[in-house]
């Protein structure tokens, strides 16, 4: 058992205790971050003349050799080591001898793991940001192609008023845009370096924490050594942000599942993103959308688990905090996989524009516009509401839409109806006359799309 401690102990750790305590099975993900942090630490120690330049070069050469060998598959990270830190340090000592024993000068595993986790999460946020941006680019393309694709908008899952597919997709654009903003905010808050905090109370060595932070791309060192080693706020924030991403993906998936049903037929999911049935040959199932919807609970569970783990911990570091890693790693893999697959699914999905428009027309989504037409002719709105309500009942009895009623029937309910009623309640008019900011009219949507395009050409968040 390769451990970084033992002088205080007179016998070996029980194997079951060792296995229970060890984190190498999951924190081996940190090997790049651990080596990167160690190289920065050694450069700082040499700058402060705590190490000689020769020792610095020996240690850095050894660390770079370990990284190269792990990446090439020549060196395996095995359970013989307690954690990734002991793996790196033990192999370094094997390679360069006593100089390797000076690597840990001025630091603790507590600030070391805090650094590794921050470096790892920072890289993951950058990757997540890229995946969300790719999804936004696909949504933007669908919006640009469907400015005049009319469809029903819903409240309570009931057809309400006509909108366009561009407008409907634009709602999701806003949601995922805010998700990118949350990731950006987390990055900004967490980007301070804990290395140099020691176990909890800093160190007596004359470390230059600003220099270490600069080498690792942080904005500066953390301000309190106890907070530095016991802070996992940024992990909770990330899990919360990822839960929100998954909630948005799940809502979108729910709609796609509904739209894919035989009753709606709004969309055709590409064969590459569908599956069949082992017994029913006619089936084409929206499994990707269903799995995304299902995996949302998995990410929520990680958030609740870490919140529960952290809620009763006194300062500073406690071993309980080791539990953040597996949960966060799993949540990250889940969210990244869902984003990539969902983006591919909607990028290849076909929209049945004629079915969407017919659904809006036959669902009386133009009823409000018919009432507004009467108001424009001097009829009080409450009376207009009642007149159109009775017209809708008549259409239901006749199994037709408002557009299909003859003018004589309109006039039998109110004499103010004229030939212009048909233009007033056409899908095109109902949508295009809604031109206020945020509305589905083409003029308003063109401005939104132009702003979206400019946003996507910018940087993070």
- For residue 224, the enclosing domain spans 108-148+161-357
Pick from 357, 382, 408: which residue ends a domain? 357
| Across 89-110, average pLDDT | 97
Indicate if the pLDDT at residue 354 is higher than 50. yes
Instruction: Supply the mean pLDDT for the chain.
Output: 95
| Across 157-167, average pLDDT | 96
Is the residue at 3 inside a domain?
A: no
Q: Give yes or no: residues 224 and 368 share one domain.
A: no
When pLDDT is cut at 50, 70 and 90, the band that residue 15 belongs to is confident
When pLDDT is cut at 50, 70 and 90, the band that residue 19 belongs to is low
Is the residue at 7 inside a domain?
A: no
For 349, the token pair is: 């999905």
Q: Give yes or no: residues 344 and 448 share one domain.
A: no
Indicate if the pLDDT at residue 180 is higher than 70. yes
Q: Give yes or no: residues 318 and 446 share one domain.
A: no
Is the residue at 8 inside a domain?
A: no
Could you give the CA distance from residue 258 to residue 266 in angstroms, rounded to a whole number?
A: 9
Q: Give yes or no: residues 248 and 387 share one domain.
A: no
The CATH number covering residue 372 comes to 1.10.40.30
Spatial CB neighbours of 180, under 8 Å, sequence gap ≥ 6? 129, 132, 133, 136, 460, 461
Q: Give yes or no: residues 422 and 443 share one domain.
A: yes
Global pTM value: 0.92
The closest of 164, 165, 218, 175 to 196, measured between CA atoms, is 218
Q: Give yes or no: residues 312 and 169 share one domain.
A: yes
Q: Give yes or no: residues 237 and 386 share one domain.
A: no
pLDDT at 113: 96
Indicate if the pLDDT at residue 4 is higher than 70. no
Is the residue at 324 inside a domain?
A: yes
Indicate if the pLDDT at residue 21 is higher than 80. no
Q: Give yes or no: residues 76 and 167 share one domain.
A: no
The CATH number covering residue 353 comes to 1.20.200.10
Which letter, b or e, does each residue of 224-261 get, where b requires 16 or more Cβ atoms within 10 Å of its Cβ? ebbbbbbbbebbbbbbbbbbbbbebbbebbebbbbbbe
Q: Packing angle between helix 287-310 and helix 324-348, nearest 10 degrees?
A: 160
Q: Give yes or no: residues 341 and 368 share one domain.
A: no
Indicate if the pLDDT at residue 9 is higher than 60. no
pLDDT at 1: 46
Condensed to tens digits (0 to 9), the pLDDT of residues 265-307 reads 999 999 999 998 889 888 899 999 999 999 999 999 999 999 9
Q: Which residues participate in catalysis according to the annotation?
A: 156, 277
For 217, phi then psi, to 5°, come to 80, 20
In this structure, are residues 138 and 94 in contact, taking their beta carbons and an 8 Å threshold? Answer: no
Is the residue at 2 inside a domain?
A: no
Q: Packing angle between helix 233-259 and helix 109-145, nearest 10 degrees?
A: 30
Sign of CA dihedral 86, 88, 91, 95: negative
Is the residue at 154 inside a domain?
A: no
Pick from 301, 323, 357: which residue ends a domain? 357
Q: Give yes or no: residues 222 and 266 share one domain.
A: yes
Is the residue at 30 inside a domain?
A: yes
Q: Give yes or no: residues 144 and 66 share one domain.
A: no
Pick from 327, 357, 387: which residue ends a domain? 357
| Across 375-393, average pLDDT | 97
Spatial CB neighbours of 415, under 8 Å, sequence gap ≥ 6? none
When pLDDT is cut at 50, 70 and 90, the band that residue 20 belongs to is low
Is the residue at 5 inside a domain?
A: no
In this structure, are residues 176 and 459 in contact, taking their beta carbons and an 8 Å threshold? Answer: no
The CATH number covering residue 52 comes to 1.10.275.10
Q: Give yes or no: residues 334 and 371 share one domain.
A: no
Spatial CB neighbours of 105, under 8 Å, sequence gap ≥ 6? 45, 50, 51, 205
> Structurally, how many domains does the chain consist of?
3
When pLDDT is cut at 50, 70 and 90, the band that residue 5 belongs to is very low
Rg of the chain, C-alpha, whole Å: 31
Indicate if the pLDDT at residue 3 is higher than 70. no
């Amino acid at each position: 058992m390769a451990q970084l401690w033992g002088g205080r102990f007179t016998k070996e750790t029980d194997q079951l205790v060792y296995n229970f305590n060890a984190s190498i099975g999951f924190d081996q993900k940190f090997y790049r971050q651990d080596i990167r942090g160690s190289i920065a630490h050694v450069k700082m120690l040499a700058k402060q003349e705590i190490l000689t330049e020769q020792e610095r070069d020996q240690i850095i050469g050894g660390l770079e050799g370990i990284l190269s060998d792990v990446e090439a598959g020549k060196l395996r990270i095995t359970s013989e080591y307690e954690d990734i830190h002991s793996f790196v340090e033990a192999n370094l000592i094997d390679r360069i001898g006593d100089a390797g024993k000076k690597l840990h000068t001025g630091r603790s595993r507590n600030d070391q793991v805090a650094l590794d986790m921050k470096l790892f999460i920072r890289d993951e946020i950058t990757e997540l940001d890229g995946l969300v941006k790719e999804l936004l680019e696909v949504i933007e393309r669908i919006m640009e192609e469907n400015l005049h694709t009319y469809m029903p908008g819903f409240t309570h899952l009931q057809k309400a008023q006509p909108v366009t597919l561009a407008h409907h997709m634009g709602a999701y654009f806003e949601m995922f845009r805010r998700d990118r903003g949350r990731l950006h905010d987390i990055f900004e808050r967490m980007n301070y370096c804990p290395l140099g905090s020691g176990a909890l109370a800093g160190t007596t060595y004359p470390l230059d924490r600003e220099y270490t932070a600069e080498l690792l791309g942080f904005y500066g060192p953390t301000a309190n050594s106890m907070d530095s080693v016991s802070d996992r706020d940024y992990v909770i924030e990330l899990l919360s942000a990822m839960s929100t991403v998954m909630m948005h993906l799940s809502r979108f998936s729910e709609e796609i599942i509904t739209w894919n049903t035989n009753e709606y037929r709004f969309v055709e999911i590409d064969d590459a993103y569908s599956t069949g049935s082992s017994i029913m040959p006619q089936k084409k199932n929206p499994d990707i959308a269903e799995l995304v919807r299902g995996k949302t609970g998995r990410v929520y569970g990680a958030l609740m688990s870490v919140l529960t783990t952290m809620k009763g911990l006194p300062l500073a570091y406690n071993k309980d905090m080791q539990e953040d890693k597996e949960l966060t790693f799993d949540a990250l893999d889940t969210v990244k996989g869902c984003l990539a697959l969902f983006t591919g699914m909607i990028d290849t999905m076909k929209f049945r524009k004629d079915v969407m428009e017919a659904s809006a027309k036959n669902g009386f989504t133009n009823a409000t516009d018919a009432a507004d037409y009467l108001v424009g002719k001097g009829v009080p709105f409450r009376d207009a509401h009642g007149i159109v309500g009775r017209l809708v009942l008549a259409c239901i009895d006749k199994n037709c839409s408002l557009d299909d009623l003859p003018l004589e029937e309109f006039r039998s309910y109110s004499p103010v109806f004229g030939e212009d009623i048909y233009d007033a309640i056409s899908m095109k008019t109902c949508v295009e006359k809604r031109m206020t900011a945020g509305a589905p009219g083409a003029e308003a949507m063109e401005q939104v799309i132009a702003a979206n395009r400019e946003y996507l050409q910018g940087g993070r968040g």
